Chains A and B, each alone.
Chain A
Amino acid sequence: MNVQEMLQALRQYKPEPRHFTPCKIMFELGSPVILSVPWLMFDGLIAYALAQDILGPAWHELDFRKPMPIAACLTLPLERRAFGSDFVYAASCSRLEPSSSSTTRIRKRVVTDSLEFLDGAPSRVDTVRGDLKSYDMTMPAVSARTCMFHAVGDPAELNRLCRMVDCLGKKRALGFGRVIGYRVEPEDADRSFFLDPGGPGELVNKPLPVAALPALGLGGIVDKPAAMLAYKPPYWDPAGMAWCICPEGF
């Protein structure tokens, strides 16, 4: 499968909006989660699972040094809320409970055994500096029993895609963020944007772009704290960052 065929396959996926309903997704965790910001985004997680599902074995052929516009080609089984020509998904950030943050130390060391058999191998490996430098990284880890998301989407499709998620967060290959169970349940209210909508403890539940607030009918929260954050997948892409109202409770 070449790149064009992959993108075509991603574009062909069309979810059924009439099945969209508010739902709660809860992952049960078996090991601490390593996060780069204090939350995970559910639409990012679903985009990852869906791309892997559609591409099948071709997923493993992707050259991650040359990122493809995977998220831009995908229509996730989640409700889109439009503002201008852009949109946000009705999918919340994670709530890890009960959570306790600490640090863990991770060592990354280049495997120098048998390097002499490689073409163009360096005559001397310097593990102190340069490309082959050893890393001794202190990373933040959150210990929690459950990881909760809220979304408006197709519950059957979300259930199918969540089955593919066996780990959450970073350093999954080292055993962090292991998922030992999950549930997708219908909810009485949409909690994708606000944790307790209309209630006294109403908390912003995902980064909401300031530019989108009038169109989304959320002008009342414009005075809340804002920061430069991404609001839709791909979350790793700095080009997707905008001035957003911050998720609260972190």
Chain B
Amino acid sequence: MDAMTRDMFATWARSPRYLELVKSTRASITRYISGLKGPEVNVSVSGGKDSLVMLDLVLGACPGASVWHWDYGIYMPRAIEAEVLAILRDHFELGPPRLVVDRRESKDPRSVAGYRAFFAAITGHLKATGALLNFIGLRREESCRRSNRAKEELEPCKPCPNAFPLAAWTWKDIWAYLVSRGIPYPSSYDAKGPVEGWDTARFVTFFDPEFAHLGSIERDKFLFWKTR
């Protein structure tokens, strides 16, 4: 991230609107986890900017929470996956057994089973740990579908409810939080941000045919040609 962009987000991090948002989000998280013990709270982390902010906020309120990370296997370059694991290990001081990493095992790019395995894996993890609440860093601003899903910050779900305390956050709030608190993020953002814009740069799978109709493969070939 260049110095000017960093300064812009640092300035936003001092604005009253942002400070009020962080305060109210912390209050919501504290309310959600009241009466729950550490391992009963789970945070689902992809490694993207939203989930890292989510993780930092939840661990601040509930240091003993368990963390689940999904590795997209063949659709996530190993170098970038290693960066995510390093952030979780070094910055958040997470490791087994609190940190559980599940992985897409299918090596067939056409296999949808590899993608659907995600849902089975998170459900299995929540059941196995006996989690009573699962935090997800989902924001309404991201898409209409997510906006509809996160109308309420608590989503009744099996085996346990999902909480979306970042639902009202904007991309500026997310970056302001990361910059002001010095939280490291995957380097793919530094490649995408200046080209796509910091508002639209997202952490998703790479070279994934599921998103070919959105041009993701073309962008990845251009920006991440070394990891092709």
Contacts and interface: CB of A to CB of B under 8 A. Distances in A.
Interface of A: 35-38, 101-103, 106, 133-140, 225, 227-229, 246, 250
A106 B215 contact: yes
Given A37-B222, A38-B225, A101 B215 contact: no
Given A225-B226, A227-B225, A227-B226, A138 B194 contact: no
Nearest to B228: A228
A139 B225 contact: no
Given A101-B194, A103-B195, A103-B196, A137 B225 contact: no
A225 B201 CA distance: 26
Nearest to A133: B213
B221 interface: yes
A18 B214 CA distance: 49
Contacts of A37: 221-222, 225
A135 B222 CA distance: 19
The 4 closest A-B pairs by CB, nearest first: A137-B215, A140-B222, A138-B215, A227-B226
A135 B219 contact: no
Contacts of A138: 196, 214-216, 218-219
17 contacts: A35-B222, A37-B221, A38-B222, A101-B194, A102-B195, A103-B195, A135-B214, A136-B213, A136-B215, A137-B213, A137-B214, A137-B215, A137-B218, A138-B214, A138-B216, A140-B219, A228-B228
* Most chain B CB within a 10 A radius of its CB, from A102, A137, A227, A228: A137
B223 interface: yes
Interface string B58-98: 00000000000000000000000000000000000000000
Contacts of B196: 103, 138
A101 B214 contact: no
Nearest to B197: A103
Contacts of A106: 215
Contact of B218 (A38, A134, A139, A229): A139
Contacts of B223: 140
Given A101-B194, A101-B195, A103-B195, A36 B215 contact: no
Contacts of B216: 138
A249 to B, nearest CB: 13
Nearest to B222: A140
A103 B225 CA distance: 16
**Residue among B214, B218, B219 having the largest count of chain A Cβ atoms under 10 Å:** B218
Contacts of B226: 225, 227, 246
Contacts of B222: 35-38, 101, 140
Contacts of B213: 133-137
Given A138-B219, A140-B195, 16 more contacts: A35-B222, A36-B222, A37-B221, A37-B222, A103-B195, A103-B197, A134-B213, A136-B213, A137-B213, A137-B215, A138-B196, A138-B214, A138-B218, A140-B218, A229-B225, A250-B225
Nearest to A108: B213
Of the listed residues B195, B197, B227, the one surrounded by the most CB atoms of chain A closer than 10 A to its CB is: B195
Interface string B30-64: 00000000000000000000000000000000000
Contacts of B214: 135-138
Interface string B101-131: 0000000000000000000000000000000
A36 B228 contact: no
Contacts of A246: 226
A86 B135 CA distance: 56
A66 B197 CA distance: 39
A101 B225 CA distance: 15
Nearest to A36: B221
A65 to B, nearest CB: 18
A227 B194 contact: no
Contacts of A35: 222
Contacts of A139: 215, 218-219
Interface string B181-203: 00000000000001111000000
A101 to B, nearest CB: 5
Contacts of A36: 218, 221-222
Nearest to A135: B213
